[in-house]
Amino acid sequence: MKKVIVAGFLLVLLSFISQAQQRAQYSQYMINQYVLNPALTGTYDYAHIVAGYRNQWVGNNFEGAAPVTYYLSGHTSIARGSRKPHPYRNKHAGYHSVGGMIYNDQTGPTSRMGIQGSYAYNERISGNWRASLGVFLGVMQYSLNTSKLHFAESEAVSSQTRLVPDGSIGGWVYNKHVYVGVAVSQIFQSRLNFDIPATGQDVQGVGSKLANHYFITSGIKIDVAPDWAVVPSIMLKYNNPAPVSIDINGKVRYKDMVWVGASYRNLDSFTALFGFVIGKQLEFGYSYDYTISKINAYTSGSHEVLLGLRLWPRARLDCPSNFW
């Protein structure tokens, strides 16, 4: 009887996982959209390395069940001809880029660890417009730690881990004032296939399917003074059967040094953001999410911190970082 109860509980848990958002949520993606879209690979005028940390739904009420995310990403264009110090001075030339990301996303008894490499090709399409197509390919380890689950009666249920292929594809079209991006993640729709004990037998193939997540982003940079710009932007995010999530963002930027902004995520949160660049190389960003959903009664909000490093600057072409 206890096995049936435990199996039923785990089936409900895994069903919830399959219905919920399966990817980490970010508020600092305006600085590092590479984490959402592999088409950003190598589009900057420098190699870009970023470390990020997000602590969601801070407070004692969740007892370690709230999402916590860490990641490290980096990407750069590939120089054509090592003897040329600035092979991309011709801003009309096409070029190749590579990058990679590792991440760890923990939510209660479940965790996701992954490593992905990216490749993108960038080409001028018309006038000052450029387009980039990119792909992420890698593996993800999904773990269910049953030691974090508490039952009324003791029942031995082993923790489980599954290793599955993972990947994303994306496109990015931009000039020095406007960008539009589209990306699809979890393209393999892998099944986790946990083994759940029930009535003395193992039930194979129980678990959630990693659903496609769709992202559409767009923004425009409006120069309001020689050193000042306003950057409104939007992101649409969808994964079936969850409702569409809409982020409406606004930012004010002074040169490439300091910026402040705000964001609204429908039915979820208001976000305040700020950041700065030191010596044209070191980036810092911080955001605070104030939750407006029903979870508000149990949390003091979410915090996210980002540290970035810009290396080997190149005189090449209009850079998407002009938007952030």
CATH number for position 79? 2.40.160.40
Give 10-residue mean pLDDT values along the chain (324 residues). Answer: 47 49 81 95 93 84 76 88 44 87 91 96 92 98 79 62 95 95 96 65 58 96 94 94 92 92 92 93 94 80 94 66 60
Looking at residue 315, its pLDDT comes to 57
CA-to-CA distance for 308 and 276, rounded, in angstroms? Answer: 10
Nearest Cα to Cα of residue 28 among 230, 272, 221: 272
Question: Within a 10 A sphere around the Cβ of 119, how many other Cβ atoms?
Answer: 18
Predicted confidence at residue 31, as pLDDT, reads 86
**Type of residue found at 171:** G
Pairing mode of beta strands 129-144, 110-126: antiparallel
Domain count, the chain: 1
- Name the helix (H) or strand (E) containing 3: helix 2-19
Q: CA 109, CA 134: separation in Å to the nearest integer?
A: 33
Token readout for 111 is: 């965790």
Cα separation of 290 and 269, whole Å?
Answer: 5
Cis before residue 241, ω within 30 degrees of 0?
Answer: yes
Q: Say which DSSP state 9 is in.
A: H
Q: Give bridge partners of residue 77 from the DSSP assignment.
A: 97
CA 133, CA 201: separation in Å to the nearest integer? 47
Which residue, 225, 116, 122, 98, is CA-closest to 179?
Answer: 122
pLDDT score for 240: 83
In sequence order, the β-bridge partners of residue 290 are 270
Angle, CA 282 vertex, CA 278 and CA 285 arms, to 5°? 90
What token pair was written down for 216?
């559409």
Predicted pLDDT at 203:
46
What value does the CA radius of gyration of the chain take, rounded to a whole number of Å?
A: 21
Where b means 16+ CB within 10 Å and e means fewer, 296-308 reads: eeebebbebebeb
Structure confidence at residue 105 (pLDDT):
94
Distance CA 25, CA 292 (A): 16
Q: How high is the pLDDT of residue 132? A: 97
The span from the CA of 253 to the CA of 240, in Å, is 35
Owning domain of residue 164: 2-323
pLDDT at 199: 46
Task: Find out whether 214 and 232 touch, Cβ atoms under 8 Å.
Answer: no
CB 70 within 8 A of CB 106: no
| Phi, psi dihedrals of residue 124, rounded to the nearest 5° | -70, 135
Question: How many whole angstroms separate alpha carbon 275 and alpha carbon 279?
Answer: 14
The Cα 300–Cα 272 span in angstroms is: 14
Reported pTM? 0.84
